[in-house]
Homo-oligomer: A and B are copies of this chain.
């Protein structure tokens, strides 16, 4: 257990590791002056990189990890063969209470499988979910699951709704968040059995927010609800459609300004505003997918991001720890169910209990 914001970093995960991990940590340190890091990976390489960022010197520790989890390694193999990998050792640090959280830009499947195995799920939560903040017309929403669970039953979806709402309250400061279930229509009869059953439960249950009902794909960027709940298959496709379409339209805009001399001059005049637009739509701003529902904070950075993006992923982990997100889940579950024990899963969830988020 640690209150000190020590963040374990998998220095070897991602396309441009370890360089962007150390550079990202330096950016994050400037933003959060109380943060400390433990880097896991190839010690000599990490040491050399830290020398280029002297501000990291006094706040960083390096732990040598001989192995690296390959980007295409199957999660099951990563679990079996990865005991001495930078990813596994960084997650272990959270389980041991040496770090409050872990950030990795490595293999998503391996990270989820390992985090689930090492950290265990929170009492009252059956399955962890991948969540991310997405931009909307009126601000930001949180969407989950984004790919951890290809198939979800009604209770899984309800638990995702709870976690999303608690995230809104704890991290985004929205006191009464609205919750929507992503569906193909807003009428009660729409969708498949699981989603209709989840809606029935959410309509009845006391929630840390308000159940809005079903929402459709276009309602997500419109910001109709604060929490968008979906299974991991549809959620992953939805998030990537959002990313891809944002890229498509910005590409169309760029082409537009290249189309004529007048348009080019117009672009030069609007350059300042266009820069702000670019920042606003910058995917790096939204880098850092949260693995919610684990006994420990685990954040996945995009594998292809740069130092700025990686620093944002670190900021996501920092906030989850700082706002006591995991404690809040326990508190809210206790509030809504009387005692967390009553909703709980099996004993195995408590066997390796290390509450590291306090």
Q: Which residue numbers of A lie inside 8 Å of B, CB to CB?
A: 72, 74, 135-137, 147, 150-151, 182, 184-185, 187, 189-192, 216-222, 230, 232-234, 236-253, 255-257, 259-260, 262-263, 265-274, 276-277, 280-281, 355-357
Complex alpha-carbon distance, A356 and B341, angstroms: 41
Selected contact of A241 from candidates B221, B253, B256, B357, CB within 8 Å: B221
Q: Name the B residues within 8 Å of A230 (CB-CB).
A: 237
Selected contact of A355 from candidates B189, B242, B246, B249, CB within 8 Å: B189
Q: A217-B241, A221-B248 are in contact. Are A190 and B263 (CB under 8 A)?
A: no
Q: A184-B357, A217-B237, A237-B238 are in contact. Are A273 and B269 (CB under 8 A)?
A: no
Contact B260 A272, beta carbon cutoff 8 Å: yes
* This protein's copies in its complex: 2
Q: Name the B residues within 8 Å of A187 (CB-CB).
A: 72
Additional A-B contacts beyond A147-B184, A150-B191, A238-B241 (15; CB < 8 A): A184-B232, A185-B357, A216-B357, A218-B240, A221-B248, A222-B248, A234-B237, A249-B249, A252-B281, A256-B273, A256-B276, A256-B277, A260-B272, A263-B269, A266-B267
Selected contact of A244 from candidates B221, B244, B263, B277, CB within 8 Å: B221
Complex alpha-carbon distance, A99 and B151, angstroms: 44
Could you name 5 residue pairs across A and B whose Cβ atoms are closer than 8 Å? Answer: A220-B241, A238-B238, A241-B241, A249-B249, A249-B250
Complex alpha-carbon distance, A263 and B265, angstroms: 11
Complex alpha-carbon distance, A240 and B265, angstroms: 35
Q: Name the B residues within 8 Å of A189 (CB-CB).
A: 74, 355
Contact B270 A256, beta carbon cutoff 8 Å: yes
Contact B266 A239, beta carbon cutoff 8 Å: no
Selected contact of A137 from candidates B191, B248, B266, CB within 8 Å: B248
Closest residue on chain B to residue A186 by CB atoms: B357
Closest residue on chain B to residue A75 by CB atoms: B189
Contact A262 B273, beta carbon cutoff 8 Å: yes
Q: In whole Å, how far is A219's beta carbon from the nearest beta carbon of chain B? A: 7
Complex alpha-carbon distance, A29 and B139, angstroms: 44
Q: Name the B residues within 8 Å of A270 (CB-CB).
A: 256-257, 262-263, 265-267, 270
Contact A249 B192, beta carbon cutoff 8 Å: no
Closest residue on chain B to residue A245 by CB atoms: B245
